[in-house]
Structure 1
Amino acid sequence: MRVVIVVGLLFAAVTHVAAAPVPKTATKVTYYPTTAGAKWVYQQEKREWEEVITKAEQRKGETLLTVSVTEGGGSYDDTYTISDEGVTKLTTSNFQLSRLLIKSPAKKGDAWAVETPVQKGILPEGGMATVGEAEDVEVPAGKYHAVPVRIVVTKTNGQVLATPGRTYTHWYAPDVGLVKFHCQDGGTDLDRVLKSFTPAVRK
């Protein structure tokens, strides 16, 4: 079985210039690209895989993304929606998630419940996600100022744990997405890092 917990992030930034008119709406900064062609290569221990946005469909009030994931000679699709409300991961491979990954705008200290529906072939975990303060993160792809989102697992298979279990931390950089992932399970630590990122070519 494999654990699939991915957290995305949107952050709103507002700039102000003295004596200038205040804009009616703030410029949104997304922590997940929304253009087909964006590509990531990740490394986790000796494993390496590629993720590519293959389709970006504009729908009323949101963007539906299809992301092709290729690893170990096989491939599958993930799907996301990005809207003013935040980022939601709908599916990964054949598994249903429908999980809000991050609200928009994101603020340090924001927290929300996350839970994987019970399905054969995926570990159903639940817990709380909390947004931390942006910090510099250095990975093979470069140095990024990224926002950490930490998930503490408090439930497995629908059962509340006596003590909190493993933790997952995801670091997201503006317009790039996930740049680093860390899992801590007792005395075991596991890292996933961004090896390269190729933005989509604007037409």
Structure 2
Amino acid sequence: MRSLVVLATLVFTTAASSAPVPKDVGQPVLYFSVREGDQSVFEVTGSSGTYDLTETVTKVVAKDGCMWVTVERRATKTTTVVYQVSAKGVSRVATNDQELAEPHALLKVPTKAGDTWTAKADTPTGPSTVYTAGKEEKVDVPAGKFMAIPIEGKITAQNGNGRIAIRTSWYAPNVGIVKMVYKVGDGVETRTLKSFKPGK
């Protein structure tokens, strides 16, 4: 009987030690898509109607301990945005080949509900954005269900009229934004992820 127990123990130990290690083990969690060819399609609904917005990762470069990710955005017009992605978060660093004076921090990781930070405008005369992190929650969109961190960005107009724009974006691991709600006055625009297709 004892020999059977010893044999069973050896078999279990050998199988456990030889089991393949998942590729994601030990890898940092990135709240953005960082593979060339990754494509996200969003449905955008607002005052101008409903239309699709397609974002495709066209280039990824490892630099300074980060991934520099170029995204082509196609809707009513085409724009190109470069993001700096790492285990510390996501920042916008360039738009349409115009490099920003400093990275605009969109998401900081790790973060907890109530954390705040301020990011300067993309242009020298633009207003800063005050970001506040929410608690991670489940988000249900046409592309599926995601656990995502909501980040509220509040922008106050500099012309003295006190008008405030609020943009809330939900970030999911390995995908990025899965939902966005943008409010200015009585106007509301929503963006929800319709599909996500990994690159090859």
Identify the TM-score tier after normalising by the shorter chain: 0.7 to 0.9
Query: How big is each residue's C-alpha offset from its partner over 1:120-149, in whole Å with a ceiling of 9 and x where there is no partner?
Result: xxx933231011001121111112121100
Q: Percent identity?
A: 30
Check whether the contact 1:152–1:164 (CA below 8 A) recurs between aligned residues: no
Change (3 A) 1:84 1:179: closer
Match of 2:190 in 1: 191
Change (3 A) 1:57 1:94: closer
How many angstroms does 1:79 deviate by? 0.5
Match of 1:39 in 2: 39
Select the structure that is richer in helix.
2
TM-score by length of 2: 0.75
Given residue 69 of structure 1, which amino acid in structure 2 is its aligned partner?
Answer: R
Given residue 165 of structure 1, which amino acid in structure 2 is its aligned partner?
Answer: I
Given residue 104 of structure 2, which amino acid in structure 1 is its aligned partner?
Answer: R
Check whether the contact 2:138–2:145 (CA below 8 A) recurs between aligned residues: yes
How many angstroms does 1:163 deviate by? 4.5
Query: How big is each residue's C-alpha offset from its partner over 1:130-185, in whole Å with a ceiling of 9 and x where there is no partner?
Result: 1100112111111212110001223x34x5x5756121100111111101110122
Match of 2:84 in 1: 81
Distance 1:118 1:175 in 2: 29
How many angstroms does 1:51 deviate by? 0.8
- Dislocated runs of 4+, deviation >3 Å: 94-97, 161-164
Change (3 A) 1:172 1:117: closer
Query: How big is each residue's C-alpha offset from its partner over 1:70-118, in whole Å with a ceiling of 9 and x where there is no partner?
Result: 222x423110112344322111225544312222222222211023243
Check whether the contact 2:30–2:87 (CA below 8 A) recurs between aligned residues: no
Check whether the contact 1:114–1:127 (CA below 8 A) recurs between aligned residues: yes
